[in-house]
Structure 1
């Protein structure tokens, strides 16, 4: 049992993942601030024009997918490291793959 624990503690891939998880935990908190900015902009747009701003709407959707990707990575649900350590399109593909999997 102790040998297994020692082996696990010596795995470079585990420590590398922990390092990335710490980075993405910080990025996730910054995204929360951006989400509140999107919320405030959309409320202001709705009050002033009667409809949401399409540019902010698109950015909010993209930000939500990115946040989802980060949460999947932090919870060990995916091994794909989120942007900027992987392609931005991997987040979109990840969302599409999850949606298709839930249809079965």
Structure 2
């Protein structure tokens, strides 16, 4: 058991992933703040014009997809690094693994 733990701790790929996870956790926080700005702008636009602004709508959708991609990476559901290491909105290319049932 201790040998397995030592082996796991020495894996460079694990430490690289942790490094990228910390970076994308910080980026995710910034993106969430930006999403709140988009929300406020969309509410203001709707109050002033009576309808949603299409440009803000598209930008909000794009940021939401990016946030989703970051969360998939942070929760180990994908090995694909989010933007800027992959395409901006790559929802079609995201391959989600099957959920594993560990209760056996």
Q: Deviations over 1:31-85 (max 9, x none)?
A: 1110000001100000000000000000000000000000000000011000011
Does 2:32 correspond to 1:2? Answer: no
Relative to the length of structure 1, the TM-score reads 0.87
Report deviation, 1:93.
1.8
Q: Distance in 2 between matches of 1:54 and 1:92?
A: 21
Q: Superposed, which structure 2 residues align to 1:7-86 within 5 Å?
A: 7-86=7-86
Alignment root-mean-square deviation, CA: 1.7
How many residue pairs get aligned? The number is 97
Q: Which residue of 1 aligns with 2:101?
A: none
Q: Which runs of 5+ in 1 are unaligned?
A: none
Name the CA distance, whole Å, in 2 between partners of 1:46 and 1:94.
34
Q: Distance in 2 between matches of 1:33 and 1:51?
A: 23
- Structure 1 Cα separation of the partners of residues 47 and 29 of structure 2: 28
- Cα distance in 1 for partners of 2:9, 2:87 equals 29
Give the ranges of 4+ consecutive aligned residues of structure 1 lying more than 3 Å apart after TM superposition: none
Q: Distance in 1 between matches of 2:32 and 2:93?
A: 21
Contact 1:42 1:52 (8 Å CA) reproduced: yes
Structure 2 length as normaliser, TM-score? 0.87
Residue ranges of structure 2 left out of the alignment (5+ in a row): 99-104
